[in-house]
A and B are shown apart, each in its own frame.
Chain A
Amino acid sequence: MFSRRNLVTYAIALLLVLAFNFLLPRMMPGDPLMAIYGEEALVQMTPELKANLVERFALDQPMWQQFGAYFGALFRGDLGYSYYYNAPAFEVILGRLPWTLLLVGLSLVLSTLLGIVLGIESGWRRGSKTDRSMLAGLMALNGFPDFFIGMVLLLVFGVTLGIFPLAGALTPYSGLSGGALLLDVLKHLALPLAALTLAHIAGAYLLTRNTMITVVKEPYMLTARAKGLSQRVMKYRHAGRNSMLPVITRTGLWLGRVVTGALFVEIVFSYPGLGYLAYEALLARDYPIIEGVLLVVALFVLVANFLADLSYPKLDPRVSYAR
């Protein structure tokens, strides 16, 4: 069961993003072609190309027909053409997507798991020295911007100690394959992943700890103790499982934040994902790429939110009974 209200929300969000992408370039003063295609396009502009492009986006037609042309192109998977990369924007974005997925996916899993475990341990001994120092430490960590954590890791482990590579996702032209290739990928991934994970542990931790504090007071915890269950079983199977629930509902929302964090971290490490792509496009004023990245990331976040909605009743049966 998923709520129809959420689906409406996601549809509105998608429409808003499309409206941004459609209206912003067309509202800009000056040549709309320049605003749609970016500076690089003007360098290569010929009269035939210009006529072709005007026709393709129906730029000589009224606004609503332009929107129709824009929408039709989107449905064909046409996000525009990047004159900076000399390739369709969709292709360029698709080539970068796996790296961001790898970074964001692993970091989301790691930070959520670590946050939950630390939150359970901390909430279980509320008020103890361990709890208090963990709380203060993670709250402070929460204040450090992800790109600063990334820079510190880069400077310490990359520049000074030289343990990890400074940039990129692969050693260029190394011709590695199999296990060596995997090792190379992991070595390049380690620092960006660590930075992103460290920056996002606090969210899951604080939420789990808060729920844990209320859960340990529940009557079923007393029953569990009376049954003579071990501490570990009580802590993780009885209290922990229930404390995880609010975290799962928020994974979708957090994903948006982690993706945003990944944009910054990728730039620090010149990691060739969507964030670095958007940054390069910003510098080159390559508008189709920025719009494409916005659309792809928005879609990605919306789908993840939808999946989180679907999975929630499976984890907490009370939700489906309630409906």
Chain B
Amino acid sequence: MHVDLKKELTTSGRGRLGLAVFLLMVLIALFAPLLAGHDPVDQSRFAFQSPSLSHWLGTNHVGQDIWSQLVYGARTSLLVGLSVALLSTLLSALVGASAALIGGLYDSIIMRLVDALIVIPVLLVLILVAAYLQPSLWVLIILLSLLGWQGGARIVRAQALSLKERTHVSAARCFGGSRLYLIWRHILPDLSPILLVEFIYSMRRAVFMEAGLAFLGIADPNMVSWGMMMREALDFSYLNVWLWWLLPAGAALSLTIVSVTFVGYTLEPAMEPRLRGEVYA
């Protein structure tokens, strides 16, 4: 499992395209205050303005500048995506690797729990939780992470199980390597491509879920979100404002998810073909 991920990514046209678009989104999110031109939550009495030089994408129903909202929406989307990906990949690695290395009863209990979590409709659980507490951004990130690690844990466990039996690991053990040394020096580095792909798919799922939940009205009221913009714009579908309100928000969201997907699919053949089916989430 020694794979040159960088080469894999830069030789594929789709991978390069995905990476370029994603980096562009990151730049937009980072430099949002410079690009926006208006405060995204500043209301004005000029509602439903058509696109003009001062409002590139016009204004919405309460007179907020849509272009600025779009730019700040990238921040929310990527912040949630990256944080959830980091947390849930960490959880997947911890749970999956520990199950594989400890084995026995612990392994079977954990894996039953993982399988059960995989079949539960997570979105409805989130709706139920959100009906009780209006989650802030960080609560949302934690909730999404807690409900998003199970698929990855299974993949990490399968990989760790096979790595454990590889000859170079046995050799290191023969030379008296301690358990921690083996994990740190041999197992973790070989898990890293899988963890990277898992990270990318978690991010994709999180960006999608954040937008979906915001579309349902489950969002931090202090943050601008593409899902929320789409929800608000849909209520005015009888006006032609959707052309510069709904479509750009949906396009930005789709572009982000497609770019992440392209990067993910490009890296995937680098992993064990046996696992291919598992990662299509």
B124 lies within 8 A of A278 (CB): yes
Q: Could you say which interface size class chain B belongs to?
A: 35 or more
Stretch from A16-24, A84-92, A122-130 that touches the partner: A16-24
B121 lies within 8 A of A151 (CB): no
Q: How many A-B residue pairs have CB under 8 A?
A: 144
A144 within 8 Å of B (CB atoms): yes
Q: Which residue on B lies nearest to A300, using beta carbons?
A: B121
Contact flag A155-B262 (CB < 8 Å), given A8-B112, A20-B125, A144-B257: no
Stretch from A43-51, A63-71, A262-270 that touches the partner: A262-270
Q: B42 → chain A, closest Cβ, in Å?
A: 26
Q: Could you say which interface size class chain A belongs to?
A: 35 or more
Q: A197 → chain B, closest Cβ, in Å?
A: 17
Q: B226 → chain A, closest Cβ, in Å?
A: 9
* B235-250 to A contact mask, C-beta < 8 Å, 1/0: 0011000100011001
**Residues of A contacting B: mostly:** helix
**Residues of B contacting A: mostly:** helix
**Which of B112, B127, B208, B253 lies at the interface centre, i.e. has the most chain A CB atoms within 10 A of its CB?**
B127
Partner of A250 from B123, B128, B277 at Cβ < 8 Å? B277
CB within 8 Å of A: which B53-111 residues: none
Partner of A294 from B112, B128, B130, B276 at Cβ < 8 Å? B128
* A254-266 to B contact mask, C-beta < 8 Å, 1/0: 0010011001100
A139 within 8 Å of B (CB atoms): yes
B1 within 8 Å of A (CB atoms): no
A193 within 8 Å of B (CB atoms): no
Binding site for B on A (CB under 8 A): 5-6, 8-10, 12-13, 16-17, 20-21, 24-25, 28, 35, 136, 139-140, 142-145, 147-148, 151-152, 154-155, 159, 166, 203, 206-207, 210, 246, 250, 252-253, 256, 259-260, 263-264, 267-268, 278-279, 281-283, 285, 287, 290-291, 293-294, 297-298, 301-302, 305
Binding site for A on B (CB under 8 A): 14, 112-113, 115-125, 127-132, 208, 211-212, 215-218, 230, 234, 237-238, 242, 246-247, 250, 253-255, 257-262, 265, 276-277, 280
List 9 additional A-B contacts (Cβ < 8 Å) besides A8-B112, A282-B130: A13-B119, A143-B259, A145-B253, A152-B247, A203-B280, A206-B280, A256-B119, A282-B218, A301-B121
